[in-house]
Structure 1
């Protein structure tokens, strides 16, 4: 590493190799659309291809006929909403724990899904369930109880564990993968023709199916938001599933490959061959013309503003071509790698007023 530079640097021969390696990728589904009709035609081809790269097509074939079931503990009254622990069997023998937070009243309610990233307490944090006073302070100071916030904004909120991060996945026996369960999950997925991200998107889709069939929620008013790895899940899930009406990925929006060649995101987000599909902004472009808020922290050490700007440039072009330039925004909070409630909820309120939302 060059001590005079804020960025790591590769040896010159490695730089040449990476430039050639990434230059060989054709970016077959990079969006080149200029009109709303062009964008719709591009999405009609690109979305099924992305689902195939994620391994979702194979999962759909092999898991066809699986009936999603839920189990619940007793609900807890929080005053303005209730909180209830549950678990959902999204595929045979795979039970994803989650919290359900329901506002008082009869409904139907808008629905919120809040996938989390590499947080030590995962979905508990999202639901405001703290293990200690210090944990409770961190949740409050960094707006991390997003499912509670959603319920207090009138949403029926589901805070699921993210597979391979916040629930029992494939243990890293013998620390072959540096003791990281997310990496162990990824490796076992890859050798079987799946991806860890594909499994996470699968889980979000099964939660959506189950909620729409069993809970008092609108079918045209689904919000998804997550931070860090949860932001990655949010982007991929909203790109794949048009039932997501508003998406807010936080502290996660950057190119797959940075300007000097370094891979940006955690290993567990890896999708084989994704650069032959396009860049991350092309994946996010599949969300257009639905409202999309990209949130970052000015002092986030993982995603510097120049990398975010690089990705936003491509994303804005897609939204402009879709005739929806006013539906994509980038907002910065004055802090680090965390949620920013003051940026998210005004955007949600504005997005729900648009035609097509059941607000």
Structure 2
């Protein structure tokens, strides 16, 4: 067969039994897979035993955590006063050879010890973009971008905030990413490196959250029984998994992330830092959320969010509801689908957090 003849063949007609669509293949594989640790409990005792099994497996899938926690060696490297609050730039050790960059924000009027939110940004410029810092280092007056300075919003809602820079973003990028502007990340090479060690970026970032709780427990301003976690997009990923594996966290808000694996990161293009090898063999996203139960969980999503579809968010939330109901704790779940795209809202989420923290 010459090339000219080949170009005129309709492949669908010539080979009707052939399938070339990788998405359809993935969905067929999904349909054939029953997660072995999916939620099936009907009593609280069964649910607690299930949580133990799934949390142990999830930690293994993330690559495990260090068996020994290194000293935090915290350092306040800068402090600035703003109208209504103080911002400290914090460094502390998460692992040997790895430090965390964070901002600790404290309202001027704050009853000590009080509640504190750990705030995790999504993809973009990193943590500066949730504390009102412009690209030139100045302080902006009005929220910008899709994250709406939600760490600063926390202060106005009566919380202290620890805004943590995720690995691969902003202040924690590799030299190559720094050469390509403020919005460039080093997620891809860092997440790829994690895979080479049979680990993953989600696990690395969740460990930073765990050590952030350790750090906040050293702060006299913070009530250790009133620490929550929140994030949007990729920060929502870390909020879900961080809450699932850190029981000291008391409540959370997941913005622009909660969905099904099938209809979000399996079906649409997302950064490799969202992926956990083997997760669907054991659990869907609502099962991971079930490790939070019966602690309070609030989910928000934009009606027009193009990367975490509304229908999947609603379905996953309904499935999660089955888990909370086993604890008779359905009142500790909240959902808002607002008019908007992939942005932070907080309209109903903040009152929910104030109620539970």
Check whether TM > 0.5.
Answer: yes
Please state if 1:40 is matched with 2:48.
yes
How far did 1:140 drift?
5.2
Q: What residue is the counterpart of 1:197 in the other structure?
A: 202
Give the one of 90, 96, 107 matched to 1:92: 96
Once residues 310 and 231 of structure 2 are traced to their aligned partners in structure 1, the CA distance between those partners, rounded to angstroms, is 19
Deviation at 1:125, TM superposition (A): 1.5
CA distance in structure 1 between the aligned counterparts of 2:188 and 2:235, rounded to whole angstroms: 16
Which sections of structure 1, spanning at least 5 residues, go unmatched?
Answer: 1-9, 353-359
Question: Could you tell me the TM-score, scaled by structure 1's length?
Answer: 0.85
Which residue matches 2:304? 299
The worse-fitting range, judged by mean Cα deviation, of 277-286 and 29-38 is 29-38
1:141 Cα deviation (Å)?
7.5
1:146-161 paired onto structure 2 within 5 Å: 146-161=150-165
CA contact (8 A) 2:228 2:250 kept: yes
Cα pair 1:86 1:97 within 8 Å, conserved: yes
Is 1:29 aligned to 2:37, yes or no?
A: yes
Rounded Cα–Cα distance in structure 1 between residues aligned with 2:333 and 2:193: 36
- Structure with higher Rg: it is 2
Alignment partner of 2:331 out of 326, 331, 341: 326
Of residues 78, 81, 87, the one that matches 1:83 is: 87
SS in 2 for 1:255: coil
**Distance change (3 Å), C-alpha of 1:277 and 1:146:** same
Q: Secondary structure at the match of 1:306?
A: helix
Q: Aligned partners of 2:326, 2:73: CA distance in 1, in Å?
A: 41
Cα distance in 1 for partners of 2:145, 2:122 equals 18
Matched length: 334
8 Å Cα contact 1:101-1:156 kept in structure 2: yes
Q: Aligned partners of 1:250 and 1:351: how far apart in 2? A: 17
Question: Are the counterparts in 1 of residues 130 and 147 from structure 2 also a CA contact under 8 Å?
Answer: no
For the 8 Å contact 1:36–1:321, the answer to whether it is kept is yes
1:270 aligned residue (275, 286, 297): 275
Tell me the distance in 2 between the aligned counterparts of 1:180 and 1:160.
15
1:248 equivalent among 253, 258, 262: 253
| Alignment map for 1:98-247 (pairs within 5 Å) | 98-104=102-108, 105=110, 107-120=112-125, 122-131=126-135, 136=140, 139=143, 144-170=148-174, 181-247=186-252
CA RMSD of aligned residues (A): 2.7
Q: Which residue of 2 aligns with 1:355?
A: none
**What's the CA shift for 1:127?**
1.4
Offset of 1:290 from its aligned partner?
0.8
Structure-2 change in CA distance of 1:293 and 1:70 (3 Å): same
Instruction: Name the CA distance, whole Å, in 2 between partners of 1:185 and 1:101.
Output: 28
Note if 1:49 corresponds to 2:53: no
Look up the SS of the partner of 1:213 in the other structure.
coil
Superposition map of 1:57-68 within 5 A:
59-61=65-67, 64-68=68-72
Contact persistence 1:205–1:241 (CA under 8 A): yes
TM-score (norm 2): 0.85
Cα distance change on mapping 1:127 and 1:182 into 2, 3 Å: same
**Aligned match of 2:294:** 289
C-alpha contact (below 8 Å) 2:194/2:200 kept by paired residues: yes
